[in-house]
Amino acid sequence: MQATTTRPRITATADGKGVVSHAGSRLLADVADRTTLTAELAEALAGLRKPRARHDPGRVPVDMAVAVADGATTISDVAVLADQAELFGSVASDSTCWRLLDGLDTAQLGGVARARAATREVVWAQRAELTGQPFPLARVAGRELLGLVIDLDASIVVCHSEKEHAAPTFKKTFGYHPMLAFCDNTGEFLAAQLRRGNAGSNTAADHITVLDAALAQLPDAHRHGTPILVRADTAGCTREFLAHVRSRRDQAVNCEFSVGWAITDKERAAIGAIPARVWADAIDADGGHRDGAGLAEITGVLPARSLSGYPSGTRVIVRRERPHPGAQLDAFAERDGWRYTAFATDTRVGQLARLERPPPRARPGRGPHSLREGHRPGPLPVPVVRDQPSVARRRHARGRPHLLDPAPAPARGAVQGRAEDAALPAAARRRPAHPRTTPNLAAHPAFLAVGAGAGGCVRPARHAAGPRWLTASASKGM
């Protein structure tokens, strides 16, 4: 399919004439046209076009997507693009957008998904032609991971009024609890399922539906010829979902999984039975040694019934780390002085430190653009709290002066906020990075009262205070 565009032709000059705003949003519209997304959507939604219709059904969702990227929060905000016809061309009204969305059914939504997949194949082919590789490689523990990584996680979308299928959420809010899938290599959104607010986090059927939709979005050459790692938190550690991931191998899709594993009494007993020499050193995201952290596999120590029903070859690996000062610890962590987390994977070979692939929102260096923050327009930066000098940063260093830091720790990256860092209040997060200072305006000397001799600079009252004014003031003060 050929890329076409019906938008006005624009040129960049330095004469100061014909200046327009939102010029960067026009680039997004041009990308949609050049990558055949507009044409693919027009073909998929051709059945919704009425006779003598003015707007192309494939152009309307592109304009809405551009408006959302430009900061729109409601459909009526598409008027910002419509007000600049010389830049964006003819843009549909909000009523036309509503009619298009209302006319979508299951078959047409499937056509939209196929249009997105076809466009993604074109984009990846264009990138391969320019860079030599169709997608960037994900980095794990300082090394490039060959293959694709798909992250699955649920999010919360808050509604401030009654809407269809909106319900109370486990966060004690009101809205939706959608399931999302992203490609970690490129940061692309692949698929989602809109669910009620009270939907379960570990519903295996929803994980399976979203994973199949995400795999369908990958180009055929990479879906069947590239290793694919599926990651999720502990909500994705269900027997049905992991068995489905394994069954995709029968369809020539080389899938592996790495999901969170809940720690119960059985895992605690297995951890207690591990000799100290079994623990291997952990490494940071950049491949460097991480002090005070270790990894160990407990698959052979767990009871056989713990892995019953899981795919063959499932491995359970435990990570331990010294908790930060002030952390809330359970009795097990308080006894050992370690905080434990676990994950399950079916990757057969590799060092334990290389197999550790934490969920996207817990990985260092990822910042706020995780799955749980992806639905928010313009996410706020994660505040970073620096380690202070003369403060023990490890639990075993408390109360030992010789282990205190003699100097402040080096500054970290701006997006390397950690879960234990204290967040600023909401009002402080909205504060600009460089607040505007109050202009230094010359004030009349009569309004200035500075120093001991400032009594003459204060203007006297026009009328002397009467008794009734004094009585009123006194009564108010009492």
Q: What are the sequence ranges of the domains in the chain?
A: 1-134, 135-373
> What is the rounded CA–CA span in Å between residue 403 and residue 391?
9
Question: 142: which DSSP letter?
Answer: T
**Domain 135-373 CATH assignment equals 3.30.420:** yes
Strand 179-183 with 148-154, pairing: antiparallel
Taking each continuous run of H as one helix and of E as one strand, the counts in the chain are: 15, 14
For the segment 79-89, what is each residue's pLDDT rounded down to a tens digit? Answer: 888 888 888 88
> What is the rounded CA–CA span in Å between residue 230 and residue 183?
10
> What is the rounded CA–CA span in Å between residue 90 and residue 46?
18
For the segment 201-232, what is each residue's pLDDT rounded down to a tens digit? Answer: 889 999 999 999 999 999 988 898 889 999 99
For the segment 360-401, what is each residue's pLDDT rounded down to a tens digit? Answer: 444 434 433 444 444 443 333 333 344 444 344 444 444 444
Whole-model pTM over 0.85: no
For the segment 88-101, what is each residue's pLDDT rounded down to a tens digit? Answer: 888 888 899 999 99
> What is the rounded CA–CA span in Å between residue 257 and residue 347?
8
Whether residue 251 is predicted with pLDDT greater than 50 in this model: the reply is yes
Q: How many residues does the chain have?
A: 478
User: Which residue did the predictor score with more confidence, 426 or 156?
Assistant: 156
Question: How large a percentage of the chain has pLDDT more than 90?
Answer: 27
CB neighbour list of residue 340: distance below 8 Å, 6 or more residues apart: 263, 267, 268, 271, 318, 319, 320, 332, 333
Q: Which pLDDT does position 5 carry in this prediction?
A: 60
User: Which residue did the predictor score with more confidence, 320 or 467?
Assistant: 320
Nearest to 232 by CA among 193, 161, 184, 271: 184
CB neighbour list of residue 373: distance below 8 Å, 6 or more residues apart: 361, 379
Mean pLDDT of 174-192: 93
CA distances from 48 to 51, 58, 109, 270 (A): 10, 10, 12, 60
Residue with tokens 């494939």: 58
**Whole-number mean pLDDT of the chain?**
76
Tokens of 344: 């399950």
Q: Is 71 left (phi over 0), alpha (psi -120 to 50) or beta?
A: left
